[in-house]
């Protein structure tokens, strides 16, 4: 039934919006609206599933992100479909913000200094083949006009990763006061603690969180390789940004990796617990969300 399909699409968009809202992004419009454009060749506006913004800690700008939410059966997903999603969203990101109707439609008052990012969030409802999907994405010129527009295409695996980050952040927020994402100071830019995970932070190999500059415990969400050298690089980052000296314990959350990584984890903890005797290091499992249904209750 068309009504059922529309409802499933609405629910998928609602979940994606709640996912990013849970990470500090702000919904700046109603979902599923049309942004009219002054284009004689286009009779209708651009349908926007959602438009969210955030203030980036490292820049003076507020960043606007146009979201394209898709909920499909896997058998209906093909390279040509993914290419169509990409090209359509690229056109929306390029043209919709320039429209005189955009400000009125989204009631943003030019708040978003930069609206150059589009996210295709594609959720396969009946199974997902990550290798095949990433082949589709890698075959596209997704860096086309990269200096002007940034388009990312996320399937189930990336959305599950982000949902795991959001869920664990939500759980920690219940157990610790003022838990926030920590942005280290850069060479020419101050960082700080924010109730926000930016898009680039969500894609990084490790994410720092803390409940204060000198709190008892700090946290790392780690997505790098589970070998000693990769963990050593993370450890050196913790030391460089003084997260070890400022916390009595560091909890490192890693996606479910099975038992085969226990020896390298034990070696890592043994080596650096001796070196930093005042800081305990503990590995924990970052749960990968099987679906996004938990967001219905947020």
pLDDT of residue 3: 43
Tell me how many degrees the CA angle 273-161-295 measures, rounded to the nearest 5: 120
Name the pTM for this structure: 0.89
Residue among 219, 289, 230, 226 nearest 258 (CA): 226
Per-residue pLDDT at 2 exceeds 60: no
Q: From the centroid of its chain, how far is CA 148?
A: 20
Give pLDDT, residue 9: 63
Q: Give bridge partners of residue 210 from the DSSP assignment.
A: 180, 218
For 114, residues 6+ apart whose C-beta sits below 8 A from its C-beta are: 61, 62, 63, 64
Which distant-in-sequence residues (6+ apart) come within 8 Å of 88 by Cβ? 68
* pLDDT tens, position by position, 130-182: 999 999 998 887 555 545 578 899 999 999 999 999 999 999 999 988 899 99
Confidence (pLDDT) at 41: 59
Q: In the beta sheet, which residues pair with residue 251?
A: 219, 282
pLDDT in tens, 241-288: 877 777 888 999 999 776 678 899 999 988 887 666 678 889 999 988
Domain with CATH 3.40.1350 in the chain: 2-154
Q: How far apart are CA 298 and CA 288, in angstroms?
A: 18
- Give DSSP secondary structure letters for 241-292: TTTTTT-SEEEEEEE---STTHHHHHHHHHHHHHHSTT-EEEEEEEPPPS-S
Higher pLDDT, 71 or 61: 71
pLDDT score of 195? 95
| Cα distances (Å, whole numbers) of residue 133 to 122, 149, 173 | 10, 22, 34
Question: Cα–Cα distance between 249 and 55 in angstroms, integer?
Answer: 30
User: Which of 18-27, 45-54, 143-152, 249-258 shows the highest mean pLDDT?
Assistant: 18-27
Helix, coil or strand: residue 214: coil
| Residue 115 and residue 93 in contact, taking contact as beta carbons nearer than 8 Å | yes
How confident is residue 230, by pLDDT bands cut at 50, 70 and 90? Answer: very high
Q: Is 183 helix (H, G, I), strand (E, B) or coil?
A: strand
Indicate the CATH number of 2-154 among 3.40.1360, 2.30.30, 3.40.1350, 1.10.1740. Answer: 3.40.1350
CA-CA distance, 253 to 195, in Å (whole number)?
19
Alpha helices in the chain (DSSP H): 2-21, 79-95, 100-106, 130-138, 156-175, 199-202, 228-240, 262-275
């Amino acid at each position: 039934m068309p009504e059922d399909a529309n409802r499933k699409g609405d629910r998928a968009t609602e979940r994606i919006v709640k996912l990013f809202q849970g990470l500090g992004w702000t919904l700046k419009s109603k979902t599923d609206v049309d942004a009219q454009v002054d284009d004689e060749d286009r009779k209708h506006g651009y349908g926007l599933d959602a438009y969210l913004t955030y203030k980036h800690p490292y820049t003076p700008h507020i960043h606007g992100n146009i979201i394209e939410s898709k909920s499909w059966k896997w058998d209906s997903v093909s390279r040509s479909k993914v290419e169509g999603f990409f090209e359509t969203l690229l056109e929306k990101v390029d043209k919709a913000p320039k429209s005189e109707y955009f400000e009125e439609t989204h009631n943003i008052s030019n708040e978003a200094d930069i609206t150059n990012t589009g996210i295709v969030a594609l959720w396969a409802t009946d199974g997902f083949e990550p290798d095949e999907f990433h082949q589709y994405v890698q075959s596209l010129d997704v860096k086309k006009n990269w200096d002007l527009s940034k388009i990312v295409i996320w399937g189930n695996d990336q959305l599950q990763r982000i949902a795991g980050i959001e869920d664990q952040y939500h759980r920690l927020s219940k157990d610790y006061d003022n838990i926030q994402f920590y942005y280290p100071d850069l060479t020419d830019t101050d960082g700080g603690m924010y109730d926000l995970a930016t898009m680039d932070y969500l894609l990084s190999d490790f994410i720092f969180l803390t409940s204060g500059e000198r709190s008892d415990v700090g946290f790392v969400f780690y997505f790098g390789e589970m070998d000693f050298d990769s963990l050593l690089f993370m450890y050196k980052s913790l030391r460089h940004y003084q997260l070890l000296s400022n916390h009595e314990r560091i909890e490192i959350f890693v996606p479910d990796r099975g038992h085969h990584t226990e020896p390298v984890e034990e070696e890592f903890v043994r080596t650096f617990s001796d070196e930093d005797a005042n800081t305990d290091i503990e590995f924990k499992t970052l749960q990968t969300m099987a679906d996004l249904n938990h967001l219905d209750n947020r």
